[in-house]
Structures are given as structure tokens and as C-alpha cells.
Structure 1
Amino acid sequence: QANTVRGTVIGEVGSNGQRAGRAAVSRGWDNMSIDASYAKSHADNWRDNSESNQENFSTTVQWFASDWRFGLRANLSRADFGLPGSLSQAQYDANARQTSKPLDHGSYDNDSITAFLERRFGAFDVAAELSHREKISRSTYVSSASTAQANIRTTQFSPRLRHVLDSGLWKNEAIAGVDLAEWSSATNASYGNSDASQHSKALYLRDEIEFDRNARVAAGVRREQFTQQSDSGAYGRTSAVNAWDLQASYAPLPLLRGFVKTGQSYRLATADENGFTALPSGAVLKPQVSHDLELGATLGHTARQVTLRWFRHRVRDELYYDPTANAGFGANSNLAPTRHQGVELEGRVQLTETLGWSATYQHINARFEEGDNSGKQLALVPANTLSTRLNWKSGQQSADVGARWVDRQRMGNDFANTCARMPSFTTFDARYAVRVSAWEFAVTGTNLADRKYYSQAYDCSGGAVSGIYPEDGRALKFTARYDF
């Protein structure tokens, strides 16, 4: 808002040595505004050698009028952290908080700057963003007597054009844009140096039509050409990928809306992924391509609503760290074709003026469709998950309590489905807050029952489980917030 100053100051203390401070302030004038935020935190965390320190600063300066806006945005981040490593089943049973790698640690510096411009010409909006990011990532693995530092640079330019036509009975929004990007990565490591780069250019179009506020149709297409290469000559490839989607929704009744979505999406392998594969010399990972379909309906209104959806994702060349590849040492790989299919049910009810309830249930059948493991379940995908939450708000007080249940899942390398599955687990969390004038005081608790569990485990050989990454035990946090 013009000619105003607003801000927030937050302090936090919690279990496991957690302490943090955050501050944000914004100042507006008639045609200019500045905002800035700063945050610093430290935590010893639950496991040994998992302490972390983080510091972030961001600021945005904008100049604007009724039909244009221009601004500059900067973000600076610093972090250092311990790397506690994984545990075997015996280590986990004896003491889940212990570390298997007490001296391993890492850090990063991540800085970015963005310039953005928006200009309106009648029914047309022209916009563009130019951004540059530099990241330095460091890791020291005393456990394996190795060190590494990666220097990553990314530059992207994204202009776009938007047109809106509103006739009253129907509204049409059309968007056309271009993404031009290049990034480079230089890694200096005790086990060898590597350099990689990628250049890409993409064009996308999207159109959405809304009819009389009870029906909408949207379609979009994107084509991206890219070149991935290793400066050392380990690989080089120029290729192209396509994405598209088609969506529609219709409300035959005031309280019932059906919807359908179908399309194709993709993901390109990163330099890190292409730098550690079991492929022949000169070969690179293929882009992951997914064919997606979703059907569903929503019944009810804001106070009482339920949504049921069915979805299916047929994925070709899924990018995945395969612990069974590279003679059992693991490598980034393209999986044989897979299918993720399931249903999701969401519901929420405003029980009283002060009390609300919500819940989400999801069932997924994720399997290989082809290859040596055809018909087998995918690893690290729980078949069922359920979460539920109660929210209460009365005057200046609010509280919520939630529960989450996750079904059993396969170990990370159990493609043949021969190992026992990870145990299911249930966790509880809660938060209470009270507002006193410009102050808010809150207490938050996670894993309140102090459950001992894990959701990531990557090795099961001969029935012996290892590669376990335990989740945190009970933690409490107190927060004080002041708004001005």
C-alpha cells in the first residue's frame, strides 16, 4: 500500500537446540515499494551429526503505475550442515539417533538476482523475467576420504504475452511464452573433476475458456529443444521433448462439478544425474516422459465438501537412483516403463462455527509394466496414506491437531519384491496460538507420540536391512511473532 510501512519480527526456540529469528519489512510510496526479509536459524537436530545453520536474505524493489511494473529481486542463502549417514538395522535398533559418519558435513552458498517487467496494452499484458543464479555446493566425506565442490551457474530469460477477452457470458485467456536457459556445472573433487553444461529453448502456448462460470476448457502445449554436454567429452547430445495438457470441468448442478485432465509431461536429467550412471561411455540418461490422466468430481460447498479423483501416470524412462545398478554399487538410471495408478478422496466439514475437520486418503498401485520386474511393485511408494486434521478458532485463539498414517513400502533396491517391507507408521502433530494485540504466541509439536520410524531405506540384501534414514522423534517449538 502507498505511503505505509509494515513489518513482522519472529523468534523461535525449540527442542534439539532449535533457535531462529526472522524479520521482514516493506515500505510503499505512490509509485515505488521496497521490501526486505532476513532469517537466521540453528538446530542441533534429532540425530547426531545432523546440526544445521542457515541464513537467508531477500529484497525486492519495484516501480509501478496503473499499466506497468518493473522490479529487481535478490535472494542470498548460506547453509552448513552435518551429514549423519544411513544406519543398518542393528544400528537402528540399538540407537536410532546415532550417526554412522560422525565427521561428514556439507555447505552451500546460493545467490540469485531477477529483473522483471510487466506492461499492459489494452487487453494485452506483456511480461518478462531475466534471472541469474550462482550456487557453490561443498561436501566433505571423512568416512570415505573424499571432498567435492560444485560451482553451478544458471541464466534464464522468459518473455510472455497474455490476452484476456471477457464478453460477460464467456471469458478467454490466451498465453504465449518463451523460456531461454543455460546452465553450467563445474565440479572439483578428490576423486576427479567434471564439467557439464546445458542450453535449452522452449516455446509454450496455452488457452483457457470459461463459459458462464460453470464450465471451463483449457489446453496447452510446450516444446523444448536442449543440448546437454560434458566439457570433458564424456557425453554430448542435442534433442527435443514435448509436453501438452487438456483440461475440462463442468458443473451440472450448483453443488456438483466434474473434471478431467489428460496430458504429457517430462523431466530432463540434471548434470549430477548424468555424472553418475552405469551407461556406456558417451551415453546420457533419456528424458523422463509421463502420460497422465485424471478424472474426478467435487460435491458440496465451502463448509461441506468432498472430492474424489482417479489418476494414472504411465511413465517411460523414469529417472531414478537404482541401488541395484552398477554391479550393486548403485547408479542413476532410466527405469523400465512404470505405472502409477490410484484414487484420492478429500473431504472437509465445518462442524461448528469454531471447529472444522478435514481428511485425505490416497491409494496408489505403482508397478513395473515391462522388463525383468514386470508386475512387481515399485520401491519407496506406500500403497495407502491417510491424513486428518481438526482446526479450532475462537476469537484470538486457534488450535489444530493432525494425524498421518503411512502404509508399508518396499525398500529402495527391492525391485524383485523379495524383501520384507518397511513398517507402517502413524504420527501426530499439533499447534496452539493466541493473539494479544500485535503479538502472536504459538507452541507447535511434531511426532507427539515420539514414534520410532523411518520412511527411507535403500538396501535389503539377503534379508538384512541397511541404508536406513531415521525420522525425527518428538519435537516442540515456541514462537513469538510481532506485527507492525
Structure 2
Amino acid sequence: ADYGLAGSLSMAQFLANPRQTTSPKDYGSYDSDRITAFFERKFGALEAAAELSHREKISRASYGGGAVSEVHSRTTQFSPRLRHLTEGTVLKNELVAGIDFSEWQIGNVDGSGDAAQTARAAYVRDEVQIAGNTRIALGLRHEVMDKRSTASAYDKAQGVNAWDLQVSHAVVPSLRLFGKAGQSYRLPTADENRGIVLAAGEILKPQTSHDLEFGATWGGADNNATLRWFRHRIKDELFYDPTVGAFGANVNLDPTKRQGVELEAAARLNADFSLKANFQHIAATFTGGPNAGKEMVLVPKNTASGRLNWQSGIQTVNLGVQWADAQRYGSDFSNTCNARMPSYTTVDARYAVRVSAWELALTGSNLGDRHYFSQAFGCASGIYPESGRAVKFTARYDF
């Protein structure tokens, strides 16, 4: 794939012409190859499965028509697992255990920026259903990642844990209450550790989050609604900070919290038409550091979406509308910028028809050709406009 690197715009430039570029000689391209193999076999109540995947990618970029940089990356992952299912008249138990192995290598062809990482993880998850009314699930995961880079002079190991406890109970057949608590994480990649401003030998810390959720689901398979309250307390959030260094850098943020409510609804209008809708309200704030109590950047307070689906025989059509509220610019950690990124609404649609083993589809995004942006890293500047109207045709063959 070949593409131009248009660069960022100021608000005045965006309003004058959001399709313009401030760097007409910058361009990039990439080639990617992926191969995946999957194995599965059952031995009575025991099921064994494994997946092996390998990807190679070459990324090239040129800035100002000068020398071209070329970065090669290679990723290999192997994930075997076992699943045991026990079904009784009252109890149903599903136990899943597995391990994940992965290796990632990345570097420029000139030898600069070479880095590698290997990861080993083990997990187990058990789910119990009681009389079809009560469900209890518990999952645990431990992962260790070894990271090394000659260019950035680091050789470190990072270990993290995750856990998840879920409980739900059907008060009546049409009303189910649920709750969830857990800890999740995200490990910085070798690519993210290339763009840092830490001392030699230091790397980014893992991001961890303590999660809590409560809610209720009402209705059946065709007509239903779910209301949930959620909270995520995040430590060492991995984030791009445009205010650090000359060109910005990847950092670990001070502690943050995301808390809000979400409403989802689905309705079967008739045999051919169905409707789905979603609304979310979220308050994202810093809970520590010099910006404690300030709003988090690049997080809209409210989002909503709706999707109308039609299916008749071999044909399907779906029409979607998405809306995002105003949000703070990516550098406004202190909440001192008087302007906010404006809200936007987009419309998309897809038509597909099945012909034997083929699926032919026509997809359109931003059909209203709206001028908007969701990424901007200055105060009314550093704007990266989103794509205009786009239409594509795809053909898929299932075998």
C-alpha cells in the first residue's frame, strides 16, 4: 500500500481546506504478509486447540524527498489451549487453560533502532452455570515479557498479572443482573519504546487498570436493552504526549479514571428489519500528579450510534450513524485551552449479496463527506483530518 503523509494543520488551514497538505513531498508505503494455521480436536469432554501465526511487514517513509527509511518487523505467535466441558442437570462447568508464546523483532535496514521482545503467558478461566439462572466466571493470567534493544541500550523483563471475576443472575427470565471486577493490563511494544525520552536503559512501564462494572439486561433475543455503570482506574497509562521533547514522545501518564454509564438497545422491527443503538456518557479525569482533577484529553464525554439492518434471502443492507461529542485537544492536560475539538456525525452503509460461496459487498464510509477530525495535538492546531467520503468494493470467497 502507498500513501501520502499529509502532516498536521492549524485550525485556520483546516477551515480553509481540510484536504490540503503542509508536506507534499512526504510519503510512505508498507508491504505485509501473514500466514495462520489452526488445529482443533476433541477427545470426549476435552478439546485441544492451537493457533500458529506469523507476520512480516516492511514499512518505508520519505520526508521532504530525502533518503527513504525502511523498517522491517517480524512477529510470530503460538497459542495452544485445552478446554474441558462438564454438563449436568443443574450444573454446567467450562474450564479453559492455555499458554501464549510470542516473539517480535523490529529494526531499520541500516541497523539503527533494532529491538526485540519475547513474551510468555499462562492463563486459566473457569465458568460455572447453575440451573441456567446464575453464572460465575473467574479468570487469571500471568505474562512475562523480555525486551532488549542495542540502539536504546536496554535489556529488561516485565511481569504483569490480570484477573477477572464475573457474576450474573436472572431474577426473572427477562431480567438479568450482572457485576464484574478485575485487573487488566497493556504492555508497551518495542515500537512504542523507540519513541521515548527516558534515560538510557529505561523503558515504559506496563499500563494497568482496575475495572468495575454493574448493570442489568432486560428482554429477549430480538428485543432487549442493557444498562451498565463502569469505572476504570488506570495507572501508568501509555499515551503519546505532544508536549514532551522536540516532537513529542510516548510516556506513562499520571493516574487517570474513566467512569460512566452506557445504554445499549436492540429491536426486531419485522422479519426483515432490525435496529441497534448505543449511548455512552463518560467522565475521564486525572486522579494524581499536577493535573489531578483535570479532564483527560481526546475523550468525548458523550457518544452515540445507531444501526438499521435489513436482510432478505441472499441480500443484506445496513445503515449506520455515529456521533461524538466535543473533546479536549491532545496537549491540553492542564485544561487551559479555551477551544475544544468540535463534535461530529458520520454516516456509513454496506450492501452485500451472497452468490454461492462468494460474498460481494459495496461499502461506503462518511457518506455525507463531512469535514471533521478526532486527532489533534495542539490547542486548535496539530490537526489530522479524517478521511472524506470513501467507497470500496470487496469480494470474499469462503472455502
User: TM-score, normalised to structure 2's length?
Assistant: 0.91
Q: Does 1:296 align with 2:215?
A: yes
1:182-197 superposed matches below 5 A: 182-188=103-109, 193-197=112-116
Q: 2:389 aligns with which of 474, 481, 484?
A: 474
Task: Please tell me the residue identity of whatever aligns with 1:466.
Answer: S
Residue 115 of structure 2 aligns to which amino acid in structure 1? A
Moved more, 85-94 or 406-415: 85-94
Give 1:416 shift.
0.9
What amino acid is the match of 2:281?
Answer: H
Question: Partners in 1 of 2:353 and 2:120 — Cα distance?
Answer: 50
Q: 1:197 to 1:433 in 2, by over 3 A?
A: closer
Q: Percentage identity across aligned positions?
A: 59
| Structure 1 contact 405–426 (Cα < 8 Å) conserved | yes
Q: Which amino acid aligns with 1:180?
A: F
Task: State the partner residue of 1:413.
Answer: 331
Higher mean C-alpha displacement, 447-456 vs 276-285: 447-456
The letter for the 1-side match of 2:282 is I
Answer whether contact 2:135 2:168 (CA < 8 A) is retained: yes
* Partner Cα separation in structure 1 for residue 349 and residue 359 of structure 2: 16
| Equivalent residue runs for 1:162-241 within 5 Å | 162-188=83-109, 193-232=112-151, 234-241=153-160
User: How many angstroms does 1:108 deviate by?
Assistant: 2.0
Pairwise CA distance, 1:433: 6.2
Give the match for residue 265 of structure 1: 184
Question: Quick one: structure 1 residues 389 and 232, their matched pair in 2 at CA, closer, same or farther if it must change by over 3 Å?
Answer: closer
Aligned pair 1:244/2:163, yes or no?
yes
What is the CA distance between 1:451 and its match in structure 2? 2.2
Residue 124 of structure 1 corresponds to which residue in structure 2?
46
Contact kept, 8 Å, 1:154 with 1:181, in 2: the verdict is yes
Moved more, 93-102 or 155-164: 155-164
1:337 alignment counterpart: 255
Deviation at 1:477, TM superposition (A): 5.3
Name the SS for the 2:53 alignment partner: strand
| Distance in 2, Cα, partners of 1:311 & 1:406 | 19
Whether the 8 Å CA contact 1:197–1:231 is kept in 2: the answer is no
Shift of 1:393: 4.3
Larger Rg: 1
Q: CA deviation at 1:475?
A: 4.0
Unaligned runs of 5+ in 2: none
What residue ranges of structure 1 are gaps of 5+ in the alignment? 1-78
| Residue deviations 1:349-376 (CA, integer Å, cap 9, x gap) | 2233343322110011111100011111
For residues 378-404 of structure 1, the C-alpha deviation after alignment (integer angstroms, 9 at most, x for no partner) is 111100011123334456765443322
Q: State the 1:443 CA deviation.
A: 5.7
Aligned residues: 398
Q: Which residue does 1:110 correspond to in 2?
A: 32
Stretch moving more, 472-481 or 261-270:
472-481
Matches within 5 A, 1:21-420: 79-142=1-64, 145=66, 147-188=68-109, 193-232=112-151, 234-326=153-245, 329-393=247-311, 399-419=317-337, 420=339
Structure number having the greater strand percentage? 1
Q: TM-score when scaled to structure 1?
A: 0.76
Q: Distance in 2 between matches of 1:162 and 1:430?
A: 39
RMSD: 2.6
Cα distance between partner residues in 1 of 2:350 and 2:87:
44
Q: Which whole-Å CA distance do the structure 1 matches of 2:396 and 2:161 have between them?
A: 47
